[in-house]
């Protein structure tokens, strides 16, 4: 089983007023969102079973890629635990 992590910065905007072109917003900050991807080959029964049980416990779907023969789940975290 392998895992990878992707970090995305989501901008936060605040309403700044209205002019003749419509509403205007200004950027006031950003929020860091971390996405972890756990991936396993479908041939490895133990890792696939672990991935399915973990997906069930976290209530996230298990995605299957039939061309590569892999299964994966993605878990998103906005804050540290």
Q: What pLDDT does 77 receive?
A: 75
Q: What is the pLDDT along the chain (81 residues), one digit of tens a residue?
A: 888 999 888 899 999 989 888 899 999 998 888 889 999 998 889 999 999 999 999 899 999 998 989 999 998 876 666
Q: In the structure encoding, which two tokens stand for residue 44, read together? A: 């490895």
Name the E strands within 20-55: 22-41
Q: What pLDDT does 13 receive?
A: 93
Closest alpha carbon to 38 in 70, 66, 80, 10: 70
Q: What pLDDT does 33 receive?
A: 85
Q: What pLDDT does 21 receive?
A: 86
Domain locations along the chain: 2-77
Distance between CA atoms of 46 and 10, rounded to whole angstroms?
Answer: 36
């Amino acid at each position: 089983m392998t895992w990878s992590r992707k970090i995305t910065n989501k901008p936060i905007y605040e309403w700044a007023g209205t002019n003749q072109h419509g509403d205007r917003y200004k950027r006031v900050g950003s929020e860091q969102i971390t996405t972890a991807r756990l991936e396993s080959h479908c041939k490895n029964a133990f890792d696939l079973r672990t991935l399915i049980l973990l997906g069930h416990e976290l209530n996230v779907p298990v995605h299957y890629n039939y061309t590569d023969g892999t299964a994966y789940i993605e878990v998103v975290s906005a804050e540290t635990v």
